Amino acid sequence: MTHPDGRSAFALWFTGGIFVNQDGDRFVNESRAYDRAGREIIAQLQDGSITLPYWMIYDDSEGEVPPVKAANVSIVETEKYVAAGLWHSADTLEELAAKIGVPGERLAATVKRFNGFVASGVDEDFGRGDEAFDRAFSAGASPLVPIDSPPYHAAAFGISDLGTKGGLRTDAAARVLDTSGHPIPGLYAAGNTMAAPSGTAYPGGGNPIGTSMLFSHLAVLDMRDRRS
């Protein structure tokens, strides 16, 4: 989610809404695990099929604040988001589309199609709700929520980073490796100091804490073995 100061803030999950691109079309499963959704969005940004910002479209069932949960910034300062041109509201989808620069008929058709998926319980386009993770934050209920209570709202979104992946390369004993891949005697690294053991994958929340604990332990064991 785009913040008035220019940052793209992290949001863990959503209780409604859909994402649309500059053409007014959906382009991703909005309930997919955030790292996977992020990769898909980055790929589409790179091939030019979507541009920044993209928009969350939602209705007034929870008010004008976006249905975003566990964000790392305040989202209650509505006037700041509106003044920055990041949040918009309108009585109709066509009027909302004009405010965010997307085709009105296309946006209305996209919302109508999505509402049809809500009624049937099956997202035929992106499979929202098909995987267990999609329902993890809704107590198992379907994440397909209708957009049918005006006024309608749009909030600007972008891509943000979640954590670091760079750092010192190590072996399985947490020993730092030189440029030739050989351990540097007496030098160890763990946690965010080391390059992520998971590479470009994201195994889940708490990963830096886990690697800090594990590789610190392995480093001490290696030091002990070398002293004995």
Q: Give the pLDDT of residue 120.
A: 98
For residue range 13-46, list pLDDT tens digits in order: 899 999 999 999 999 999 999 889 999 999 999 9
First to last CA, the chain: 53
Rg, C-alpha atoms of the chain: 22
- Could you tell me the residue ranges of all domains in the chain? 13-157, 175-227
Indicate the pTM of the whole model.
Answer: 0.85
Are 48 and 6 in contact by the 8 Å Cβ rule? The answer is no
Q: What is the pLDDT of residues 164-181, one digit of tens each?
A: 678 999 999 999 999 999
Confidence (pLDDT) at 188: 98
Position 141 scores a pLDDT of 93
SS (H, E, C) the chain: CECCCCCECCCCEECCCEEECCCCCECCCCCCCHHHHHHHHHHHHHCCCCCCCEEEEECHHHCCCCCEECCCCCCCCHHHHHHCCCEEEECCHHHHHHHHCCCHHHHHHHHHHHHHHHHHCCCCCCCCCCCHHHHCCCCCCCCCCCCCCCCEEEEEECCCCCCCCCCECECCCCEEECCCCCEEEEEECCHHHECCCCCCCCCCCCHHHHHHHHHHHHHHHHHHHHHC
Q: Say yes or no to pLDDT of 130 above 90.
A: yes
13-157: CATH, from 3.30.230.10, 3.40.640.10, 3.30.450.20, 3.90.700.10 = 3.90.700.10
Q: Is it the case that residue 135 has pLDDT exceeding 90?
A: yes
Average of per-residue pLDDT across 69-88:
90
Q: Are 84 and 53 in contact (CB under 8 A)?
A: no
Question: Cβ(36)–Cβ(99) under 8 Å?
Answer: no
CB 137 within 8 A of CB 33: no
Contacts of 90 (CB under 8 A, 6+ apart): 96, 98, 99, 151, 152
